[in-house]
Amino acid sequence: MKISTKGRYALIIMIYLAQRYNENRYITLKEISEKEGISLKYLEKIIVSINKDNYLLSQRGSEGGYKLATDPKNYYVYDIITKSEGNIAVTTCLNASFNCGKKAKCSSYRLWNDLNGVIIDFLKSKTLDELI
Amino acid sequence: MKISTKGRYALIIMIYLAQRYNENRYITLKEISEKEGISLKYLEKIIVSINKDNYLLSQRGSEGGYKLATDPKNYYVYDIITKSEGNIAVTTCLNASFNCGKKAKCSSYRLWNDLNGVIIDFLKSKTLDELI
DNA sequence: TGATTTCCTACCATTTTGGTAGTAAAATAA
DNA sequence: TTATTTTACTACCAAAATGGTAGGAAATCA
């Protein structure tokens, strides 16, 4: 029952970018890596998964890096976590591909589904601007 | 971000016992194993961890098995899950042993702590009698 | 042109998950 | 007393997930 370092570090990256949104510059992973004490190579891998669908602005080369594409209030923790960790499913039996043949009448299933909803609602209620 | 089969199967066992609480008999793991299609040996291992501090009544030998010690309404899903899976900590940084030196002023930490609270509150609000 | 930085792919050690196997101990039935 | 049943306990193990590392290609700018 854990969010892995992928999700945790993803949020750290995004908070770092959000705190510097007003500076309006590209921020390198090297900077984040040094300030947060996380391996550069690992951050690279994580931010690539966050950045699918151009969730961020990025630029290569010197003076390059990453920055938020829009105001921190438009970034939901839910999106950050699902982009880095995949969809939230608190048990394997919540996945559509899981087939035990008794979902509808399974009281465990309903419980896990409700818990999943509670978690998703919480994460959807939080945006980056609330965290900085 | 998953509850493992330990916790899932633990709840299945407990719901099975709760549904038969009125029969007032010891129920064998063999019966649960066959009805729920889960390996007997694995269920044995799981129920041992649930049964610490005599959470259940158990008896060896023929006519033996397990039964609830008290009414289903006194069994909280939270206890079932923590006994089978260990304490709920949605990130490793919530563990007391984790020391990054900035918990108090870390906004990620507060977020994860709040999420953890939401999950714990949910699980503490559910008892076995609501599930049967 | 050289330095910088993202982008992309492949690999790998360690830990966790999801079990299996075997046996001892207790309780009951025959 | 003996055989059977069932929990209780300990050890082991394969497969998957986690948490990275490594190397290089492709942009971009000074």
Measured between beta carbons, the chain A residues lying within 8 angstroms of B5 are 92
Tell whether B99 is covered by a domain: no
Taking 70 as the pLDDT cut, the residues of chain B under it are: none
Tell whether A75 is covered by a domain: yes
Tell whether B21 is covered by a domain: yes
B111–A85 CB contact, under 8 Å: no
Tell whether B108 is covered by a domain: no
SS3 for A43-109 is HHHHHHHHCHHHCEEEECCCCCEEEECCCHHHCEHHHHHHHHHCCCCCCHHHCCCCCCCCCCCCHHH
Query: Is this structure's pTM higher than 0.85?
Result: yes
Tell whether B36 is covered by a domain: yes
Assign residue A17 the CATH number of its domain.
1.10.10.10
B85–A1 CB contact, under 8 Å: yes
- Note the CA–C1' distance, B42 to D13, in angstroms: 14
Tell whether A56 is covered by a domain: yes
Tell whether A121 is covered by a domain: no
Q: What pLDDT is recorded for position B75?
A: 98
Sequence letter at residue B99: N
How many other CB atoms are there within 10 angstroms of residue A47's CB atom? 22
A15–B115 CB contact, under 8 Å: no
Q: Of B116, B53, B130, B10, give the one whose Cα is nearest residue A91.
A: B10
Q: What is the chain B residue with the closest CA to A4?
A: B91
Number of domains in chain B: 1
Q: Name the nt closest to A3 by C-alpha to C1'.
A: D18
Of A89, A122, A131, the CB nearest to B115: A122
Q: Per residue of chain A (132 residues), what is the pLDDT tens digit? A: 899 999 999 999 999 999 999 999 999 999 999 999 999 999 999 999 999 999 999 999 999 999 999 999 999 999 999 999 999 999 999 998 888 878 778 999 999 999 999 999 999 999 999 999
Tell whether A102 is covered by a domain: no
Residue B45 belongs to what domain range? 5-87+127-131
